[in-house]
Chains A and B, each alone.
Chain A
Amino acid sequence: MELITIPHSPTLQLLVAPSSFQRKAAITFIAELAQTGPVRVLDGGNRFDVLSLNRELRRKDLLLYTALERIQVARAFTCYQMTTLLEQPAPGGIPTLVLNLLTTFQDENTSLPERLRLLETSLYHLQKTARHSPVLLILHPQPTEEPFLALIRETADRVWVFEQLHHPPVQLSLL
């Protein structure tokens, strides 16, 4: 995780990782950023894990409540809401982390072209935000999300992809 730079300068970065790593990474980054200043978190997956974050903050020996006050959170539950959230600029150029951006775009009640249109609008606004402040998107895409992911990859300034080992080391059986 140390290899991935925490966004401090205005860029749009994308991290694609499996679910477990992605959650851990999100928490580590947020804790790290809250150490030095305010941070904005936009969550589209309804799983911003405050309690794990608290444990991480304690591990880093940070002033817990000060850090919690520095972290600004807003959640989106539909792709329309997500698009509206992303239209709002980051106040004072503070870093923005976007978690589970694609979850709300998997809504069976909205047509595919409409969802792709909304994602394009969202990405347009993200790019605008990234001109003034650092933005990091953290995703663990499902197979159905491929067309959406492709759009995001094109937009991002830098993409980090977590590679799976093809042959994980095997432990010998005790028996």
Chain B
Amino acid sequence: MGRTVSPITQTFLQERAAFARFRRALRRSDQRVLDDLFVSAQKHLSAASYASHALPFETFLLSMLLEEHKEIIRLRREVAEIRHVIQE
């Protein structure tokens, strides 16, 4: 009983599929980058499910941003470390 609202994984797959035409028209190299973004969203599906936002795609976008920002932080740290080494 229950399970009327589609589970988050299925919603995610539907949303991704909705961009199939967009993806098809991208260059191969850009397609791979786009796929990466969707993987980022997939890493936070449980949080997206918990949020049960009326428009889940918004949570997927935020998850992509979150992963992007983590990457920026990591890169900044690496730059700082390298700079530190050079200065010594």
Contacts and interface: CB of A to CB of B under 8 A. Distances in A.
B1 A47 contact: no
Contacts of A68: 54
A50 interface: yes
A58 B57 CA distance: 12
A54 B55 contact: yes
A155 B4 CA distance: 29
B4 A46 contact: yes
Contact of A50 (B1, B2, B3, B5): B5
Contact of B4 (A47, A54, A55): A47
Nearest to B53: A54
Interface in A38-79: 43, 46-51, 54-55, 58, 64-65, 68, 75, 77
Contacts, number: 26
A48 B2 CA distance: 11
A51 B4 contact: no
Contact of A65 (B11, B54, B56): B54
A55 B54 CA distance: 9
B49 to A, nearest CB: 12
Interface of B: 1-6, 11, 54-56
Closest 4 CB pairs of A and B: A54-B54, A77-B1, A46-B4, A50-B5
